[in-house]
A and B are shown apart, each in its own frame.
Chain A
Amino acid sequence: MAGTVNLVCTRERLGEVVSQLRAVTIPEGQTLEAGFTPPSGCEVASTWEIISFQFGTLFSELWTETGNVLLGALNAVPYLAGYVGMVLLFMVFWRAIKTLLTPTRDYTSLKTVTFGDESAVRSETAASILSVGLIFVIWCSFTGSILIPKFMHLPAPFVGQETFTYTAQDADGNRDDATVRVDVLKAGEDSINAEVDAGDGFAKNDAVEITVYRSEIVAWDSNDDVTRRDDGARIVAINGQEFEFDSSLRDDEGNLTQTPPTFDIGFANVAVTDRGTLNVSPNQGWQMQPLYLPAPEAVWFRFIEVAKYGYQNVYLTVHLGFSLFRVIVGFMLGAAIGIPLGYAMGLSNWFRGWFDPIVEFMRPVPPLALIPLVIIWFGIGEVGKIFLLFLAALWIMAIAARAGVSGVRITKVHAAYSLGASKWQILRHVIIPNSLPEIFTGARVAMGVCWGTVVAAELVAAEEGIGKMITTASKFQSTDIILMGVIIIGVVGFGIDMLMRMAERRLVPWKGKG
């Protein structure tokens, strides 16, 4: 750009020398050679400096990120190992059980070499059932689901009523005990507004209500005869455990000179705060908050509710219907153009030469990368989405059809010519039927890509659609709806693939038998 220059600026920050690359516009009337002086601490960067600076920053950032990723992966290793261990354990158990059952004696079961013979490896139904069951059980036990017995749950967060005592001391060294009643309420539960008897002495009993997964600060002296601020009162013991901490002891800068203590009192953690009050955090257990992972039954009830009454004034059938409509119309249009295009590319030098660069360039461009462009061109309406899906299906179908034509054995074509068939008859009776298996494979891939693309496109912008439903839900932190949407997307995608496979078996029975 004319009038712009790159500067390397070095300055000191927090005792460290940092340098930064800045693009600066040269003021009107000045040039780099005459009149332009870089600001203090800055120098005009040479090309080499610009390159080395950019790559240096990039690599140092990537290095940090690599560290983060590896650390995350390392944290996951024990869990993965535990899971694999569980898989192996189940395998040993199942093998032991299986030897007790009546063995099957079909041909494959008599093969002694199974390790390395892919045809002898069959999917073990018991393993599939256990695998799905285990995921479900883990899900249930992490969410305290009612679907499994209580003893299988991971420790739940504390809910209910408990008490603890604190010992307060006034400025004269007099001590008095008081009791704090803690009510931990379930989310959405009504307040109890417990009244507690004040008790004797200068420290009066307190009551506090906490919603599960939250914590609460107890200003214990608010109802006492002596207070922290006015009388220099402080707590010296929790449940009889004495400690040495005075929040009024501060250095010149106002920092604490002692570390505030924390107590584990069974149902909760009680921490003395910087100001001398108490922060009560009831035990959260090992289960996950519904915000992160709702229980299966919650997802199911949400599904029933959304199926009946819709979500955000749009029925589930409408969400799903719009998504399927987009996929089917986009795929049909893509196939309607892509298949003839592929045939033309497989049958004619000129068409092959003309379309090869376009197809080979567009094929590696993920349709998702085109979403911004499509929104700019067509807006967020149906036309844009169907255009996107059309593009997603087009190249896949064109390449499948081209592969189908090149997969025709030349002897078949020669035979047809020798039997007197015309070019049109060869296309109709030899090339098209022979390419159908390839086209079906392509159609399955294209449908899968289209389904993925439509959900992603709806995540970005849509009025309705299954992807739109889960983005909206995420904005309201309705994790159950997100989970439900994900499951529906998976089931529908699987269903589409199953239907395509069934159609394939029905329409192309000769596949793989040429």
Chain B
Amino acid sequence: MNGLSIQGLSMRFELPNGGHVQALQDVSIDLKQGELLSVLGPSGCGKTTLLNIVAGFLAQTDGKLILNGHEIAGPDAERGMVFQAGALFEWMSVRDNVSFGPRMAGKKKADYMGNVDHLLDVVGLQDFKEKMVYELSGGMQQRVALARCLANDPDVILMDEPLGALDALTREKMQSLVLKLWKETGKTIILITHSVEEALLLGERLIVMAPRPGRIHKEYNLPFAELGVHADLREVKKHPDFGTKRDEILNMIWDMEEEIMGRTGEDA
């Protein structure tokens, strides 16, 4: 079966003081090839832990991860990752950053250079190929990060708040770019975000997670990503369903945060 299957994933680790943290409890998600899933939740709900386990940086204590029929163990080029910031290599030019994956795989320059140049064109950096990454703005750096990930042609792209550090205007442009790339490449994408709007706009499917222990609280299937591929995202936001969904999820997360505050209040 093609796609990513997360089955009964749990993550529980011990603390130095003898206590323990149940970061994730029985999380199961099935993603078909080419699906775009956004994951939303209050801080401490385990969404980054989930992503790190899928990426192979952390080992789960229970459950299974199956990608295209084989079990996941450790990081691999089949699962590309886009970080919030600071993951580019400052000592390399934009082009060298984007071609990092193919170069490490030992491919011939002639085989990957065309694709690298094409991807830089797609993300709008055709004029910045020879620049050093520290000479670029934050938005441009995230474009490089996207292109670098795509140049490696992974099966799944994992995004850990990739637009979180950008200003509102740049963020909107980048959201369109993510949708465009998703549609063009047909990659399976898991996107973690803090922003309810972003989760609604980009998520073909949306999972809201609840904290303590981290678990899936609610799941939605949404039409907005498909709409956004063809229309202006501002138009999509005017869709009547968008507002109601947004308020519903905001209230949901608000209540979770209240509950956390209340609980810590009692502890104190």
Q: Which of B80, B89, B149, B154 has the most CB of A within 10 A?
A: B89
A478 vs B63: C-alpha distance when bound (angstroms): 83
Query: Which residues of chain A are within 8 angstroms of B158 by Cβ–Cβ distance?
Result: 418
Q: How many residues of B contact A (CB 8 A)?
A: 29
Once A418-B55, A513-B134 are accepted as A-B contacts, the answer to whether A409 and B104 lie under 8 Å apart by CB is: no
Chain B residue at minimum C-beta to C-beta distance from A418: B81
Are A418 and B75 in contact, with the CB atoms below 8 A? yes
Interchain pairs with CB closer than 8 A, number: 74
B249 located at the interface, meaning its Cβ lies under 8 Å from any Cβ of chain A in the complex: no
Query: Which residues of chain A are within 8 angstroms of B101 by Cβ–Cβ distance?
Result: 419-420
Per-position contact with A for B79-101: 1 when CB-CB < 8 Å, else 0? 11101111111110000000011
B1 located at the interface, meaning its Cβ lies under 8 Å from any Cβ of chain A in the complex: no
A448 located at the interface, meaning its Cβ lies under 8 Å from any Cβ of chain B in the complex: no
Query: Which residues of chain B are within 8 angstroms of A421 by Cβ–Cβ distance?
Result: 100, 104
Query: Which residues of chain A are within 8 angstroms of B91 by Cβ–Cβ distance?
Result: 433-434, 436, 510
Q: How many residues of A contact B (CB 8 A)?
A: 22
- Of the residues B77, B83, B152, contact of A411 by C-beta under 8 Å: B83
Query: Which residues of chain B are within 8 angstroms of A420 by Cβ–Cβ distance?
Result: 76-77, 101, 104-105, 152
Are A411 and B89 in contact, with the CB atoms below 8 A? no
B148 located at the interface, meaning its Cβ lies under 8 Å from any Cβ of chain A in the complex: yes
Chain B residue at minimum C-beta to C-beta distance from A420: B77
Query: Which residues of chain B are within 8 angstroms of A409 by Cβ–Cβ distance?
Result: 86-87
A409 vs B80: C-alpha distance when bound (angstroms): 18
Query: Which residues of chain A are within 8 angstroms of B77 by Cβ–Cβ distance?
Result: 418-420
- Of the residues A419, A429, A430, contact of B152 by C-beta under 8 Å: A419
B66 located at the interface, meaning its Cβ lies under 8 Å from any Cβ of chain A in the complex: no
- Of the residues B75, B89, B132, contact of A417 by C-beta under 8 Å: B75
A514 located at the interface, meaning its Cβ lies under 8 Å from any Cβ of chain B in the complex: yes
Are B87 and A415 in contact, with the CB atoms below 8 A? yes
Per-position contact with A for B139-167: 1 when CB-CB < 8 Å, else 0? 00000000011001010001000000000
B57 located at the interface, meaning its Cβ lies under 8 Å from any Cβ of chain A in the complex: yes
Are B83 and A429 in contact, with the CB atoms below 8 A? no
A425 vs B100: C-alpha distance when bound (angstroms): 11
A265 CB to nearest B CB, Å: 77
Query: Which residues of chain B are within 8 angstroms of A433 by Cβ–Cβ distance?
Result: 89, 91
Once A414-B55, A418-B80, A421-B104 are accepted as A-B contacts, the answer to whether A510 and B90 lie under 8 Å apart by CB is: yes
Query: Which residues of chain B are within 8 angstroms of A430 by Cβ–Cβ distance?
Result: 89
Query: Which residues of chain B are within 8 angstroms of A72 by Cβ–Cβ distance?
Result: none
Query: Which residues of chain B are within 8 angstroms of A509 by Cβ–Cβ distance?
Result: 132
Per-position contact with B for A332-374: 1 when CB-CB < 8 Å, else 0? 0000000000000000000000000000000000000000000
Interface residues of A (CB under 8 A from B): 409, 411-412, 414-422, 425, 429-430, 433-434, 436, 509-510, 513-514
Beyond A412-B89, A419-B152, 15 extra complex contacts between A and B, CB < 8 Å: A411-B85, A414-B81, A414-B83, A414-B87, A417-B56, A417-B57, A418-B79, A418-B149, A419-B104, A420-B76, A420-B77, A420-B101, A421-B104, A509-B132, A513-B134
Q: Could you list 5 examples of A-B contacts with CB < 8 Å?
A: A418-B158, A419-B148, A420-B152, A510-B90, A510-B134
Interface residues of B (CB under 8 A from A): 55-57, 75-77, 79-81, 83-91, 100-101, 104-105, 132, 134, 148-149, 152, 154, 158
